[in-house]
Structure 1
């Protein structure tokens, strides 16, 4: 009986060790707490203002919102702001973003309008440190290069920012190379990782990569949380929600989460 209790205790301790988030000082989190973050900028449902476009970020700044955006690399190594791995949904062009040079990407209108995919430096120039940024690094075949170049650009930027990724190895890179920057783990329910092998989907949906990344906040999607995620949150990291819509109980979300990423409605900038 004692042996069984010892084994069970060891298993519990192992689980807690794996999901434990990283330590962070309250002062580090303060610039990001209590904000509503415009998802990919303040874009519109009718696509008149395209997601991740300069007008979308300018509109978010003007409205006083924080904002969440996505960075990845072009073929020639430019850090661009764009969400999807592939171009077809937003530009109508077939192929991956990293298969085209920056010059080629500039010929592709966003959502059929006049705007083009911006460089990360262009977005930073629009925001000018006026509101906080959550910068998501997209995972791909050149993660190290993306991390290095994004970090270099952020080091030159004067304003509040934090980083996040669905890929715990990207988050771990920032833990090891820029521990002063607040970092977060994006996660969602098992069913959302449809393109991944089941063991990897299980690990990511349970935040088992925390043992590598030690994220200081967890950004969770709209689906029900599993026990592992709840255990990770019990350690007290900052909690971020994505993505809120007007038909949700937004007041309840703001009460539960330190930051809420939203789209297609107009919540107060701060809560």
Structure 2
């Protein structure tokens, strides 16, 4: 259910991002199950090199709309360099359980100056990250928040984020 809801919300992001470009787009989870007819938009959430190299050949021949997103900045950088017409997103959030400089850089969105994603998707519980707030103030990059569960969070996020991925309540009632 969560993926379907996220899928529908990201369609809005796709439309927003495609207006100036009208190029290809890419998206996330369960791309193989959705990539049946070319009618559906695909969100390819890719993290491991072997997977995103294989998926690229499928996406190149796919005639529908799609976007690629990853928490791995190497994936975002690869698509920026080799497939600049793909819409690319950087996933991030609390990575304090991971140790190392690269995880610190991803958590604080420091790799975005090199990877230049088309949108940022950030974990709801950790949206008070100073780096995210700075990007929100200085940039016009679309911001997506995931996964909002309390209805109060949905209401408070309306002004902060362009798109919200949520579960457990009906947003139409908000």
TM-score band (shorter)?
0.7 to 0.9
Q: Does structure 2 retain, via aligned residues, the 8 Å contact 1:240–1:259?
A: yes
User: How many equivalent pairs are there?
Assistant: 155
CA RMSD of aligned residues (A): 2.8
The residue correspondences of 1:20-35 to structure 2 (distance < 5 A) are none
Q: Given the alignment of the two structures, is residue 137 of structure 1 paired with residue 53 of structure 2, yes or no? A: no
Structure 2 unaligned regions, length at least 5: 11-26
Matched, 1:225 2:128: yes
**Does residue 178 of the first structure (1) align with residue 83 of the second (2)?**
yes
TM-score (structure 1 length as normaliser):
0.50
Give the conservation status (yes or no) of the 8 Å contact 2:151–2:169: no
Q: 2:164 aligns with which of 260, 265, 269?
A: 260
Equivalent residue, structure 2, for 1:244: 148
Shift of 1:259: 1.6
Q: Find the aligned partners of 1:266 and 1:158 in 2 and give their Cα distance.
A: 32
Contact 1:217 1:239 in 2 (8 A): yes
CA shift for structure 1 position 126: 6.8
Q: How does 1:40-119 map to 2 (within 5 A)?
A: 40-41=3-4, 65-66=8-9, 69-70=28-29, 81=30
Structure 1: gaps (5+ residues): 1-37, 43-56, 71-80, 82-119
TM-score w.r.t. the length of structure 2 is: 0.73
Structure 1 residues 121 and 186: alpha-carbon distance in aligned structure 2, compared to 1, 3 A threshold: closer
- The 2-side partners of 1:148 and 1:225 are apart by 34
Runs of 4+ in 1 over 6 A off after TM superposition: none
How far apart are residue 256 of structure 1 and its match?
Answer: 2.6
RCO comparison, higher one (Cα < 8 Å, 6+): 1
Greater helix share, structure number = 2
Contact kept? 1:121, 1:153, Cα under 8 Å: no
Q: Is the CA contact (8 Å cut-off) linking 1:188 and 1:220 kept in structure 2?
A: yes
